[in-house]
Each structure stands twice: as C-alpha cells, then as structure tokens.
Structure 1
C-alpha cells in the first residue's frame, strides 16, 4: 500500500531537494482572467438553458455551457502551467493534455444539470429546503471534482526529467478549495435563479458567481501547484533562464482563443435571447390580435365574430329536449347619454350592463357584445316538442333579464336609469345558420324598438317577409323616382262655402306592378329614412308645376294647387333656388302654388324657416300649416311665421260630433285662425252635417269625401264641380 501511495505522494522517499520553480505573474493574472471570462460566458449561456421550454434546445444550451466552462478550466490550467517555470526542459504529452479537457466538461455539465433540476422542482413546488441544499452541495462538489480531476490529469501529462510527487496536506487542501468554492458558486447561482430575489441584482449576482467559479479554478490549481514536488533525476540537465520562452506565443494564442470562444458564446446567447424575446413578443402580439379579433376591447366580452362561431358550434336541440334561444338587447337612448354626459359615463354604463349580464342568476350560456350598445345572450330553453311553451318560457326569461338590467346604475356620482329593448329568437332547426339566427334576433329587436321603449319582441317569419318587401320597395322607389315611372299625383278638390272648387291638394300615388297600390303611409316614411324623400319631393314639385301650367292653358286661372313639403326637403340649402327655377321655367302666376308644412318643419331653426318662407312668398307662393293641433303646437309659431292658411286635421273633423272635446277644438282653431287673419281649411268633411256645422263656424275652405276622393289629374279636370 505504501509503495502505491509513494507513486503519487511525497513520503520523504527522495534524498535530494526538490527543484525550485518561479511564476510569471503576468501569466498568473492572465490565467485568472481567462477563467473568469469563460465562467461568465458559461453562466450567460446557461441562462438560455434555464429559459427554454423545449427539451432539445435546453440540452443544446446545457452542452454549450459545459463546453465553454470546460475549455475555460482547461485553458486556465494550461496557462497556469506555462506560468510556472522550472530550471529544466518541460513538455506536455498530447494525449493526456487533450484527455484532461473531458473531466472539466463533464464536471460542469453535471453541476449545471443539477441546477436545472433544482429549478424544475421549484417550479413544480416539489422542492424542500433540505433537498435544495443537498442538490446545491452535490452540484458544487461535482464542479470542484471536475476541476480537480482535470488539473491532476493535466499535471500527469507533463514530461520533464524529474519525479512528480504531491504533499498530502496541500493536495487535500486543493481538493477542499475546489469543492468548497464550487459549492459557494452554485449557492450564489441559485440566488441568481430565484426570480423573487433576482430583482435588479441579477447581473451583479451572475458576476459574483463567475468570480467565485474563477477563484475555485485558480485556487485549486495554484494550491495543487504548491502541493507539487519535482525531484530531478540523474538525467536532468539544469538550464538558465525561462524554459517556456518558446511557448509564449502559444500562451497568448490560447488566451485569445478562449476569449474569442467566450465572446462568440456570449454573442450567441445574446442573439438567442433577442430572438426569444422577439418570438415572445410576436406570440403576445398574436394573442393580443386574436383577443381583439374575437373580443370587445371595452367590456372583454366576445364580439360578433365569436358569437357567430359559438352559435355555429351549438346543436339546435340536445338530448334533453332543449332548444337554443338568442336574446339581442339594445340600450334605449344610449346616444342621448353619450351626447349629454359624455362617452366616459357611456363606457361605464356598458361595463356595468356587462357585469350584470354575466352575473344574472339564470341559465345563460354565453354573453357577447356584437355591436356598440347591443348585447347578446345565449340560453337553452326546454322545448318538449311544444313551440308555444318554448316561446312562453323564452319570453319569461327575457322579462327576468330585462327587469334585472333596468335597475338603476351608479355611474360615478350620477344615478342612471335606462330601459332596454329586446329581440329574441329560438333555434330548433339545425339548417338555420348562425348569421341568419342573428339576423332574426335583429329583426325582432327592430320591431321591439318601433313599438316603443323597453319592449320585448319574439321573432316570427312575417318579420323577414316584411323586411324583404321593405328592401324591395326601397330599391323600386329609387328606380321609379330616377326613371319617372309608376308614380302619379292625385288631386283632391278644395271648395269654398259656396261649394265652388278653388283648388286642390296634390297627393302622391304609387301603383306597383307586383304589389299593386302602395299606400303613401308605407313608402313616405321609408323615403324619409333612406333620404329618397329629397328626390321624391323634387319630382312632386316638378309635376305640380306642370299641372298648374296645364290649368293656365285650359283657363283655370283661379285654381291653387297645394303640395306637401317634408322637413328634410325644406331644410335643403338649395330648396329655394330649385323652386324658384321651376317657377320661372313654367312661368307660373303668383298665388297658384301653395306649400303645406307640418309642425315638424317648425321644430328646426325657426329663424331659418321664417327667412325661407319670406323668400318664397316673394315668388308668389302661399303657405299653409298642415295638421294643426296634432303635433307640438305652439301659438308662437302662428305669431312669428307668415302663414296664409291653417288646416284642421281630419282626426278632429271626422269625430267631432262624437267627442265634445274635439268639437271644441275645431271651434277654437277656426276662431283663432280668423283672429290672426288666416284662412281655414277643414279636412275630412264626409257628411252634410260636417259641412253645415263648419260653415256655421265660418270655415273658409272644405276638403273631403263629401265632395270627392283624390282622383287622377285628368279626372279632376273633367269633374262636374270644377266645370261649374
């Protein structure tokens, strides 16, 4: 046993003194710098391994860490050996020199593998404090063992005319230094790994770890060199000067190579980190884009696209005999809140409605926000093969939902109460697409809003048919206005108290080739909604001027033609200019054209209305206030506006004998008009009793079925009344 130990340790078996060596201090410093640079680069690379989710990529960075760290240990040892100068010629065996790299790489790989294991166990919350400490000690010990084994294999590669033995005390100290500093380095690096402790000190801790690892490598090496004893053999020839002068260029080449390797590794790590961050940013952007594509940014609810996808994924009926119900809700007068109190409170209201919808204690499967102030809710309703029962249960659910949502809202310091209109539809046919289902709910909602505020409407097939007809009528109305087809002005005579025709009111009629006669009550509101009323009004004005011109040519110079003018038409900036152009074009005499305005026209800018009326009166146009008493009547209008005629609405005249109140209103209007110097026209005169009573009140003109219904202009000219 002693013989075996004597092959490695110095047991005083040599009689001569060992050779005395010297160190090149510059190379010693260089060896530590190389160890530090390599260690810091290895830690930087290992940070990439820690952040990898992909196992193959993690292994790759782990191997790169061990390789750079091992090369650093080996290079430090090699430079440190060359820094040690003995008075004999010294060489290194190639095989053992290269083989010594492997323990350094293996020791670093094992140490950093345990660090990865510590991190994974901590993330899974399966790491106790004792287990963590034992793994840190193990990783530091493996690192120190790899450094020590590398050193002593490298020392065995030395070829010189001397026997190498080690002092047992210093040998033990070198191993202890390597292991203890390795453990301290790994413990420090564990600090670096913990995010809660990391904060703004991660770079400082990484730097500290690299300094400690470099100290472990260098400390172990130079303590081991103190333990080394070189006893010259009989063949030893002492030399003067440095025995390593011929290796100076190799020393610096190795140092430069290590630094370049470390720099390359650091740049690769930094580039990978940048790519990872870019990839992460792209994924986050994709996730954000998807959220924006499928969710409403204000409320976080699914948007229209998400709602349609959800509806497409739901079966119309399930095994429990339930059918899908879609509720579409609209906040009534939401724009009023936005315009008066600002969009901030409007947004708060939308968010508050969202919170209530999501917390409604009912079987609602999904809540969405398909448009600005509309919300959708999807639920399942028991069907049991009874559509009427399913509809009743859906309406009951709608009322419960509406009652919950119409409770007052606290918007900052403002208490707001609102109503919600609702349309709903049931899906019990899988052939109906999600888009059509949403259209059905929207049609029901539109019908509910037309019925008033806070109404609930269930979809039925007639709604779709009505919409289809409405779309067709709108398109056809646009066509007939542009092409002057199918439309015609009918005339209803107006008579004085002597039953002599003094004029007529022009009423538009539309004979559709497919739908037959379409009432003005149906297409006039549609024209106003779509803006077609402007073109339609221009057509009426043109036709009216042509009729008056024909009357002049036939000698009916005393007749006055009245035409109705809508509010949008009268508000056009060029209304006066266009009418002036028509009057000049047809050379109409003054007083032959009368414009009938409703009180809706007067609700706009009164001063502008007065200016337009005065301009038109200078052209010889008369004015009548139509349907007086049915709107927002105000005596101030009659005082300010220069009307010529006041028309009593048919709703007062027709039923005035059945209602004392209406009879009193008719009497008051006639007296009021005469006191203001206005003529009075009574519409809806259908009986002789009507005529006699209105005549006794002093009514000036009469219009109604007692005399004639509206007729075509050719029939009007041949009427017996006008020929008298």
Structure 2
C-alpha cells in the first residue's frame, strides 16, 4: 500500500532536491485574462437560461455555459502550466491533455444546473434557507472538484525527464482551496443573480462577478502548483518527446486566440438570442395589445361590440331554466351637443363617469360593454318562470333603476352636468337565433325610445322589426325616387290677397309610390331628415320650383310668387347660396318671383351666418318668410335681427281663433306686430268663410287654405289661375 502512495506523493523517497522552476509573469497574467474572459462570457451566456421557461432550452444554455467555462478553465490551466518553466525539456500528451478538459466541463454543468434549480425553487417560494446553503455548497464543491480533477489530469499529461510527486500537505490544501474557491465562485454568482442586485447596472455587477470567479480559478491553480515536486530523472526521452518548452509559445497564442474567438462567438450568440427573445416578447405583447384593441374599448376599458357578441353567444346556452338574460342598450341623449359645446375632453370624462356608475350598480349585472360611441350595454339575469308578463315587469323595473342612477348629476371638472338616458332592451332566451339578432332587437327598441322623446324606455316587440324594415325599404325607395326624378311631384296651394285674387302659391311635395300609393309628407319628410336625404330632396324641390316659375313666365303669369320651404340642414349647406344662384341663372328666374320660407329651427343655429346668407339671397331678388310664427322660442328677438319680408301665422292659431279667445288674441298681436315692423302677414289654414272674414277684419294681407283650394298639381294650378 505504501508503494502505491509513493507513486503519487512525495514521501521522502528521493535523495536529491526537487527542480526549481520560474514563472513567466506575462503568461501568468495571460492565464488570468483568459479565465476572466471565459468567466464573463459564461455569465453572459448563462443569463439566457434564466430567460426561458422551457427546460430543454435552459439545459441547452447551461451546457453552452459549461463548455465555454470548461474550455476557459482548461485554457487558463494549460497556459499556467506553460508559464511554469523548468530547467528541462517539457512536452504534453495530446490525448490526456484534451481529456483533462472534460472534468471541468462536467463540473461546471452540474454546478450551474444546481444553481438554476435553486433559482426555480426560489421563484416558486419553496427554497428554504437551509436548502439554499446546501445547494450552494454542493454546487461549489462539485465545481471545485471538477476543476481540481482537471488540474491533476493535466499535470499527468506532462512528458518530461523527471519524476512528478506531490507534497501531501499542499495536495490536501489544494483540494480544500479548490472546493472553497468553487463555493466562493457559486456564492458570488448567486449574489449576482439576487433580485436586489439585478436592479443595479447589470454590466457592472457581471464584470465584478467575473473578476472574482477568475481570481478563484487562477488562485486554485497556482496553489495546486505548490504541491508539485519535480525530481530529475536520468532516463533519456524519446526523440519525439525532446522538444523544448520554448517551442510551445505558438500554442499559447493559438489557445488565447481560440478562447477569445469562442468567447466572442458565444457572446454574440447570447446577444442575438437575447434580441430574438425580446422581439418575441414584443410580438407577444403586440399580439396581446392587438387583442385588447380588438375586444376592448380604449377609452373606458370596457368590452367592445365584438366582446359583447361573443359573451351573448356563450351565455345563451348556459342560462338555467326559469331565468333569462336581459340586454339593456343605453344611449346618452344629446351627447353630440355636449361634445360640440364643451369639447371632446369633457365628453370623454362623461363616458368614463357613466362607465364607473354602470360597473358599480347594485344590480345583478353580469357584463357591461360599450358597443359604440355614446352607447353602453348591460347584460343581467332575471327570473322568468315561464311568465312573460313577470319578466317584462322585472326588466322594466331594472331599467328604471339603471336610468335613475345614470341620470344623477355628473361633475365634469368645474361643470355640473345632467343628462337623460334612453334605454332599449330585450329578453334573451334559447330560441334567439344569434347574438347579432339580440343586439339588433335592443337597437330597434332604443331607436323607438329615442323617437318617442328624451329619456324614454322601450322593450323590444316584433312589430318594431316590421316598422324598421318598412322604414329601410321606404328610405331606399325615396333615394331612388330623388336620384331618378320619378314618383315625386310638386303640388301648389294658392295664396290670395284681400280681394281673393291669386298672388302666388306655396310648393308642397307629394310622393306617389307605385305600390303603396300616396305617401303622406308627414311620413317621409321626417324619414328624410333622419337619414340626411332632406338635403337632396330640398335641392330637387328648388330645381322644380325654378322650372315652374319659368313656365309661368312663358304663360304670362310672371306676377305670381312661388314659396318653397327650406329645411335647416339644407340651409346650413356651405354651397346653398351658390347652388340656388346657379338655378336662378339657369332658369332666368326674375327678382321677386321666388320666396323662401324658413322655420325657427333654421334660425337657432349661427344667427350671424343666417343673416349673411339671407342678405346674399335677397340681392338675387329672393323674398323671405318666417314660417309657423309663434310656435318657436325666440321669434321676437329674431325679428329684430333678420331681414324677413313677411310672417306666416301658424295653422294651429287660425283654426281655433274663433273658439279660443287666447288664440284670437295671439293672431291679433301677430298681425299688429308685423305691420308695426313693416312686414306683410300670411294666414295659412283658412278653411271657412268665417276664418277669412275675421282675418280680413284684423288686417291680414294674404290667405292660404282649403277655403280657396287644396294643393293641386302645377298643371291644374295653371289651368285654374286666371
């Protein structure tokens, strides 16, 4: 047994003194630089393992780290050995030298794998202080053992004319140093990965950690070299082994360059992978953001229309028996007015405030959404029990609670705002075809509520769908009639003076539908206003009126004046004056033969702009009448500003003036006021001789009504007028 130990340890079996060697300081420094570069690269690469959840990728990066660290440690050890110069020739066994690299790689792989395992346990909050210490000591000991084994295998690869023995004390000390420095290296790296240190500049901490690890590796090597004893042997070496130690300098440089290249390649691969991972995360975040934009409203954060439809589709089949879903569609009345007067910022604030209240309603509401600009949706469950009347009562009660809460005052900065809410609602059951159909039903109910006035509540019923279908079809037919100049016709109702002589007529549009027959203006005019067709319809009326005036001129009726009604949207068109001017020139309309009747809805816009347009048109010879006088809000103030030529007394006053002293007093006042202001007065709705006689007695200037004639086609009017 003693002979076995004598083959490895220096137990005094040699009589001569060991050979003395010297260190090349530059190679010592180079060995440290190599260890530092390898350590820094390994830390950089190992960071990639922490960026993945996949165990396969983690192990791949740990393996790459172990290879880089192992090659670096081996290169440092090899250069460190070459830095030690003996007074004899030294060479190395290539196979054993390369094989000695393997323990360093394995030791680094196991050590860093254990460290990664500890990190995973810490993230799971299952890493106790005791287990942390055990894993740190174990990983450090394995790292030190691997590097120590690499060192002594590399020493055995030396081929020289001397016996190599190890001092037992220094050998034991080198093993202790290897383990202690391995633990120090892993402990340093653990501190580097600690969350509190990751908040500091990563490059500076990584650099400091690499310096410590490199110092541990080189220190372990040179302490281990103190245990080596070289005793000269007189046995001659084979010729192939007789190369000088100095001839290995080219190998030193090759190793240094190779390590540098490996470190650079590894570093670049780490950087590229980091960038790719960042790009992948950005893509994932972008996908998440796109999904949020696709399914959520950006202003309020509520689900949007798409989310609402998906929710309704998913919930319809899950509603238990005896219950049904109620969909409420809530619209903020006159929201556009708030936006236009106080600005969109306060409008957004109001929308967010409504969202806040909806989400905190003390009701069984399962979802709140914002399907469009100023509309909100709420989905709730109510009890049905097969009793439709009970369900309708429950949904109406809930709607009133919602409306009451949402109509309470809102504080918009320093402005206290009150608004009304219109609500359309419908009940969902398993017989509904789709979520789109359900949402359409609620929208139809909401549209009906808004037609009934502000702050109304309507529950969907099938007749609403029929009404909407009829309106859609009528809108399409009206658009076609306007574009193709068919089915529409101007009827004329004569206007007479006090002597019952015809002095003009009012143009009234009529629609003769090929299938539905005569459609009342009371039905299609509001539809045209809602759909925006009123502008095109008004342009058609203006053109037909100018044609009629042209015909009157040709028939010797140039003394007559034709009145046309102009809607507010039409009069507000920027090119209204230009278009009418073009028609006057095209049909050679003489001054004074065309009269425009405006209601107070036109005047409630920008008064200065209205005055400017009226003055421009008066220069073209067009007269102006204020229609339905007395039914608006500020007629007297308008009369002081606007250059009208005459007033029209509304038919509601004329019809009841003989039976109502109040209405008669209003008519008297209008006539006297008009004359005092130098305006003519036209009374419409004159249906009896008593009406005519009384108005004539009051001093009315001209008359219009069924007493004289109902509205007739233009050809018939021309035949009846002398």
Contact 2:91 2:245 in 1 (8 A): no
1:28 and 2:28 are equivalent in the alignment = yes
Question: What is the CA deviation profile of residues 144-165 of structure 1, one whole-angstrom value per residue up to 9, with x for unaligned ones?
Answer: 1111111112222223333222
TM superposition shift of 1:119: 0.2
Other structure's SS at 1:314 match? helix
Cα deviation for residue 124 of structure 1 reads: 0.3
Residue 320 of structure 2 corresponds to which residue in structure 1?
A: 319
User: In the alignment, does 2:332 pair up with 1:336?
Assistant: no
1:680 aligns with 2:661: no
Aligned to 1:450: 451
Residues 1:579 and 1:42: Cα distance change in structure 2 (over 3 Å)? closer
| 1:186/1:498 CA distance change after superposition, 3 Å | same
Unmatched 5+ stretches in structure 1: none
Q: What is the DSSP-based 3-state SS (H/G/I as helix, E as strand, rest coil) of the residue aligned with 1:52?
A: coil
Tell me the residue number matched to 1:410: 411
Once the two structures are superposed, residues 96-144 of structure 1 have per-residue CA deviations (whole angstroms, 9 ceiling, x without a partner) of: 3233222111111111111101100100001112221121111111111
CA distance in 2, matches of 1:676, 1:217: 109
Q: Would you say the 8 A contact 1:22–1:84 is kept in 2?
A: yes
Q: Is the contact made by 1:79 and 1:251 (CA closer than 8 Å) also made in structure 2? A: yes
The structural deviation recorded for 1:333 is 2.8
CA-to-aligned-CA distance 1:369-417 (integer Å, 9 cap, x gap): 2222222222223233333332222222121122222223333444333
Whether the aligned pair in 2 keeps the contact of 1:191 and 1:205 (CA below 8 Å) is no
The DSSP-based 3-state class of the residue aligned with 1:326 is strand
Secondary structure of the 2:310 match is helix
Does structure 2 retain, via aligned residues, the 8 Å contact 1:174–1:219? no
Q: Does 1:246 align with 2:242?
A: no
Structure 1 residues 24 and 361: CA distance shift in structure 2, 3 A: same
Instruction: Give the corresponding residue for 2:14.
Output: 14
Deviations 1:30-53 (A, max 9, x none): 222222211221121111112221
Summarize the Cα distance change of 1:327–1:225 in structure 2 as closer, same or farther, 3 Å threshold. Answer: same
CA contact (8 A) 1:191 1:198 kept: no
Cα contact 1:595–1:623 (8 A) shared by 2:
yes
The answer (yes or no) to whether the contact 2:118–2:127 under 8 Å persists in 1 is yes
Taking the aligned partners of 2:333 and 2:556, their CA distance within structure 1 comes to 57
Look up the match of 1:392: 393
| 8 Å Cα contact 1:87/1:242 also seen in 2 | no
CA offset at residue 194 of structure 1? 1.4
Q: Assess, with a 3 A threshold, how the Cα gap between structure 1 residues 499 and 286 changes in structure 2: closer, same or farther.
A: same
Aligned partner of 1:179 in structure 2 is 179
Q: In structure 1, what is the equivalent of residue 648 of structure 2?
A: 647
Structure 2 gap segments, 5+ residues each: none
* Conservation of the 8 A alpha-carbon contact between 1:610 and 1:641: yes
Name 2:466's counterpart in structure 1.
465
| Cα distance in 2 for residues equivalent to 1:354 and 1:15 | 97
TM-score normalized by the length of structure 2: 0.92
| Preserved CA contact (<8 Å) 1:590 1:619 | yes
Counterpart check, 1:39 vs 2:39 = yes
Residue 61 of structure 1 deviates from its aligned partner by: 0.8
Cα deviation digits, residues 293-313 of structure 1 (max 9, x gap): 221222211122222222233
CA contact (8 A) 1:85 1:243 kept: no
Does the CA contact (< 8 Å) of 1:317 and 1:324 recur in 2?
no
Cα separation, partners in 2 of 1:594 and 1:45, compared to 1, 3 Å: closer
Q: Deviations over 1:216-267 (max 9, x none)?
A: 3222222222111122334269x9x994012221222122212222222122
Q: Partners of 1:618 and 1:162 in 2: how far apart?
A: 125
Return the offset for 1:580. Answer: 5.5
Give, in whole Å, the separation in 2 of the partners of 1:619 and 1:434: 57
Verify the 8 A CA contact 2:324 2:429 in the aligned structure 1: yes
1:446–1:213 CA distance, 2 compared to 1 (3 A): same
CA distance in 2, matches of 1:627, 1:515: 30
* Conserved? CA contact 1:423–1:441, under 8 Å: yes
1:3, distance to aligned residue in structure 2 (A): 3.3
1:303-329 CA-to-partner distances (Å, cap 9, x unmatched) read: 222222222333267332322322222
Partner of 1:306: 307
Matched with 1:508 is 509
Q: 8 Å contact 2:332–2:374 — kept in the other structure?
A: yes
**What's the counterpart of residue 690 of structure 2?**
689
Compare 694-703 and 517-526 and name the one that shifted more.
694-703
Taking the TM superposition and a 5 Å limit, the aligned residue runs for 1:129-144 are 129-144=129-144
CA contact (8 A) 2:629 2:635 kept: no
Q: Structure 2: how far apart are the matches of 1:94 and 1:535?
A: 97
How far the C-alpha of 1:182 sits from its partner, in A, is 1.3
What's the offset of the Cα at 1:424? 1.6
Contact 1:87/1:243 (8 A) holds in 2: no
Q: Distance in 2 between matches of 1:649 and 1:699?
A: 13
Q: Distance in 1 between matches of 2:619 and 2:89?
A: 128
Contact 2:90–2:243 (8 Å) recurs in 1: no
| 1:335-359 deviation line (CA, Å, top 9, x unaligned) | 3333343333322222222222222
Structure 1 consecutive aligned stretches of length 4 or more whose deviation exceeds 6 Å: none
> Aligned-residue CA RMSD in angstroms?
2.8
| CA distance in 2 between partners of 1:409 and 1:662 (Å) | 41
Between stretches 24-33 and 54-63, larger displacement belongs to 24-33
Deviations 1:606-656 (A, max 9, x none): 555556555655655444322111113433443454444322111111122
2:319/2:325 contact within 8 Å kept: no
TM-score by length of 1: 0.92
1 CA distance for matches of 2:318 and 2:377? 19
**Other-structure match for 2:595:** 594
Cα displacement string for residues 439-482 of structure 1 (whole angstroms, at most 9, x for unaligned residues): 33223222222333222222233333333333333332232223
1:186–1:209 contact (8 Å) kept in structure 2: no
1:510 Cα deviation (Å)? 0.7
Distance, in Å, in 1 between the alignment partners of 2:456 and 2:56 is 63
**Corresponding residue of 1:700:** 701
Instruction: Tell me, in whole angstroms, the C-alpha distance in 1 between the residues paired with 2:510 and 2:65.
Output: 90
- Distance between the aligned counterparts of 2:409 and 2:658, measured in 1? 46
1:79 is matched with 79
| CA shift in 2, pair 1:276/1:537, >3 Å | closer
Aligned to 1:94: 94
Q: Are the equivalent residues in 1 in contact too, given 2:91–2:244 (CA < 8 A)?
A: no
1:81-100 C-alpha deviation (Å, 9 max, x unpaired)? 22222233333333432332
Asked if the contact 1:139–1:183 (Cα under 8 Å) also holds between the matched residues in 2, the reply is: yes
User: Aligned partners of 2:94 and 2:580: how far apart in 1?
Assistant: 111
Kindly state the Cα deviation for residue 578 of structure 1 after the two structures are TM-superposed: 5.2
Aligned to 1:191: 191
Q: Give the drift of 1:668.
A: 1.5
Matches within 5 A, 1:211-290: 211-235=211-235, 243-290=244-291
- Contact (CA 8 Å) 1:316, 1:323: kept in 2 or not? no
Contact 2:62 2:112 in 1 (8 A): yes
